[in-house]
Amino acid sequence: MDDPTATAGIPTVPVKADISWLTNSLATGGDFDYNAVVANAQLRDLLKQQVGVVIDTRIEDDDAAIWSKHPVEYHHIPEDDYQGNHIDPADFDKAVMIARDAQARGLKVFVHCHMGINRGPSTAYAILLDQGWDPAEAFDLIRAKRPISAVYYAEDALRADLARKRVNPTEAAQIINKFVAHRDKVFGAKEMEQTQHIIRDTHIARGDFV
């Protein structure tokens, strides 16, 4: 049988989902390609990688109809993504609860947004913190596993984690200041500029600009 991707002018090499595994059970990344054939191949790849729970943080779209046809739990926690925005602690709490439940049942969790740069990685960061990761080490892990990520809302996620754990204000301030100093040291203006270029180039490649 002919490869259906060939008729669509798409290379016959296996199409991979936009996913980066942070641990054996937690991943982050981007959404499906706009091309339906490619998107179907990406979906099959996610199923092959045994993703059991999807947390979608896009406000601009959702994949509820797609995932309803497959044995994967889909959760939509819509977040906007613009300069100066902040994510509500309640939304991080919601994602953390979903991840806790999934972990208890041995299910792999995929947290994504549109491009896997800010919203998805920041929510994955919140989950790592809840699992006991050190704030700086969790940030470095995401940046190492997914260099495209900026984890823009990491500080929001950390504040939500400390509030959830009822850390006293003085200690919480110390932890936040220590993390911010680390983040700014390893992810400064140069890295942010590189990320902005990646965002722009990816949008152009995907035809987001008309």
Whether pLDDT at 199 is above 80: no
Whether pLDDT at 202 is above 60: no
Encode pLDDT of 21-68 as tens digits. Answer: 999 999 999 999 989 999 999 999 999 999 999 999 999 999 999 999
Domain spans, the chain: 14-206
Inter-axis angle of helices 135-145 and 154-164, nearest 10: 140
Region 14-206: CATH code: 3.90.190.10
| pLDDT score of 81 | 86
Q: What is the pTM of this model?
A: 0.86
Helix H or strand E encompassing 20 = strand 19-21
Mean pLDDT on 13-21: 87
| pLDDT score of 1 | 32
Encode pLDDT of 72-110 as tens digits. Answer: 999 999 999 877 789 999 999 999 999 999 999 999 999
| 60: alpha, beta or left? (left if phi > 0; alpha if psi -120 to 50) | alpha
Q: In what order do the strands lie in the sheet with 19-21?
A: 19-21, 26-29, 108-112, 51-58, 73-79
